[in-house]
């Protein structure tokens, strides 16, 4: 791994310990008119945790080739809207990051709602100077027993292995650019891939990746309602038995790309 950029990263860490930090919140969105408005409202409220520290923020939505009012809703909420014509979660996040000017990036799903308390925990990690990236445990907006069980198991695995779930990941901008962002060849599990790369990099630099858990992120259970739990289980098994082949084929990942909302 090339560490020529290390001096730039160290400078960015010094910025984190100063009074002024700029945060870029980046949200990929494909046909999200039903849930995006609430996500942007709660995100704007949560960003107050940064403003109270005197930090600057920007909100960027990447319209990932939507055919509904996603872009209009984002603009009405005061977000900067960029466009990516290729339906790819990883690609949309990367496109949003290219338009961002923050010292730190926060990637957030369009169906998730962060709290000010959660963003306060993010700020504390940034101020520590010891963290290069982090994620958060999740909480579903459903009482579905099996879905909640799977969420519990994921949260445990996430904390043990420091896997940064796609619903929210934060990262130093310099670090994100140094590893060339998300792997756009992956249509699913791009979050697992970047978690592993960041964890290895953190060890090499004597820094850490973290999974916050005091204030879980509220996220939508719509995929469970639309596709059922067992379709998700079947997808995981298919990935395991084909050595990850479906991950690089958008048509093999309908849960994420069939456009149902």
pTM: 0.90
The structural domains of the chain, ordered by start, are 6-219 (3.90.550.10)
User: For the segment 115-173, what is each residue's pLDDT rounded down to a tens digit?
Assistant: 999 999 999 999 999 999 999 999 999 888 988 999 999 999 999 999 999 999 999 99
Q: Given a cut of 80, is residue 16 above it in pLDDT?
A: no
User: For the segment 19-74, what is each residue's pLDDT rounded down to a tens digit?
Assistant: 689 999 999 999 999 999 999 999 999 999 999 999 999 999 999 999 999 999 99
Average pLDDT over residues 75-95: 97
Q: Given a cut of 50, is residue 249 above it in pLDDT?
A: yes
User: For the segment 191-220, what is each residue's pLDDT rounded down to a tens digit?
Assistant: 999 999 999 999 999 999 999 999 999 999
Q: What is the 3-state secondary structure (H, E, C) of the chain?
A: CCCCCHHHHHHHHHHHCCCCCEEEEEEEECCCCCCHHHHHHHHHHHCHHHHCCCCEEEEEEEECCCCCCHHHHHHHCCCEEEECCCCCHHHHHHHHHHCCCCCEEEEECCCEECCHHHHHHHHHHHHHCCEEEEEEEEEECCCCHHHHHHHHHHHHHHHHHCCCCCCEEEEEHHHHHHCCCCCCCCCCCHHHHHHHHHHHHHHHHCCEEEEEEEEEEEECCHHHHHHCHHHHHHHHHHHHHCCCHHHHCHHHCHHHHCCCC
Q: Given a cut of 70, is residue 13 above it in pLDDT?
A: no
């Amino acid at each position: 791994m090339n560490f020529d950029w290390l001096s730039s990263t160290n400078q960015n860490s010094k910025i984190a310990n100063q009074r002024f930090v700029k945060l870029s919140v980046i949200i990929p969105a494909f046909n999200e008119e039903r849930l995006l408005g609430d996500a942007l409202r709660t995100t704007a409220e949560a960003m107050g945790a940064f403003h109270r520290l005197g930090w600057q923020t920007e909100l960027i939505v990447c319209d990932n080739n939507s055919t509904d009012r996603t872009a209009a809703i984002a603009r009405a909420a005061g977000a900067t809207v960029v466009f990516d014509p290729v339906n790819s979660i990883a690609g949309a996040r990367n496109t949003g990051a290219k338009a961002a000017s923050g010292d730190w990036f926060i990637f957030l799903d369009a169906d998730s709602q962060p709290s000010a308390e959660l963003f306060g925990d993010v700020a504390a990690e940034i101020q520590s100077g010891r963290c290069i990236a982090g994620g958060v445990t999740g909480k579903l907006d459903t009482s579905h027993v099996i879905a909640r069980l799977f969420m519990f198991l994921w949260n445990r695995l996430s904390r043990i292995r420091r896997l940064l779930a796609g619903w929210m990941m934060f990262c130093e901008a310099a670090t994100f650019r140094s590893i060339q962002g998300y792997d756009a060849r992956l249509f699913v599990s791009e979050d697992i891939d970047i978690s592993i790369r960041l964890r290895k990099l953190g060890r090499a630099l004597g820094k850490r990746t973290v999974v916050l858990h005091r204030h879980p992120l509220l996220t939508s259970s719509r995929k469970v309602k639309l596709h059922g739990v067992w379709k998700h289980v079947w997808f995981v098994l298919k990935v395991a038995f084909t050595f990850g082949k479906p991950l690089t084929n958008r048509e093999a990942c309908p849960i994420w790309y069939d456009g149902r909302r």
